[in-house]
């Protein structure tokens, strides 16, 4: 099955690389990346078609929650599934993310298999 283009947003290139590898193993072939929420919004405007956003929570300039809210507020991007990544000690953030329209979340540190299972559930 053809997977939609994905956008990985994280201020750490190493974390983006881990997520991108998992996406590739899950069958995603078109993968874009951004280092923060502002860059992600610019990439969304440039690419035009993204079917999945995986975003870290804490990033400089524009964090993941601000990005999520901006994505949901724009009619052109409002329906894109958004998977949030948050650190173990910030489980309280999950409620904020879900209330703001996150499709799901995964807690760091995570095993690549856990992300792959989440992706499989989202895109069977």
Cis-peptide, bond into residue 109, ω within 30° of zero? yes
Domains in the chain: boundaries:
6-122
Q: What is the pLDDT of residue 88?
A: 59
Smallest CA-to-CA distance from 108 within 95, 93, 96, 124 is with 93
Query: For residue 2, what is the DSSP state?
Result: P
CA distance 92 to 112: 23
Torsion angles phi and psi, residue 25, rounded to 5: -65, -25
Q: Is 9 exposed, middle or buried (0-12, 13-18, 19+ CB in 10 A)?
A: buried
Residue 38's H or E segment, with its range, is: helix 37-47
- Return the CATH number of the domain spanning residue range 6-122: 3.40.50.2300
**What digits encode the pLDDT tens for the residues 60-107?**
999 999 999 999 999 999 999 999 988 755 666 777 888 889 998 888
Confidence (pTM):
0.93
């Amino acid at each position: 099955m053809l997977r939609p283009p994905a956008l990985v947003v994280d201020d750490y290139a190493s974390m983006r690389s881990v997520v991108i590898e998992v996406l590739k193993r899950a069958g995603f072939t078109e993968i874009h990346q951004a280092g923060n929420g502002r860059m992600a919004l610019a990439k969304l405007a440039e690419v035009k078609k993204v079917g999945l956003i995986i975003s870290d929570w804490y990033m400089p300039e524009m964090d993941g929650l601000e990005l999520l809210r901006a994505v949901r507020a724009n009619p052109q991007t409002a329906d894109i599934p958004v998977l949030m990544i948050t650190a173990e000690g910030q489980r309280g953030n999950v409620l904020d993310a879900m209330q703001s329209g996150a499709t799901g979340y995964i807690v760091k540190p995570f095993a690549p298999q856990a992300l792959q299972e989440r992706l499989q559930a989202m895109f069977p």
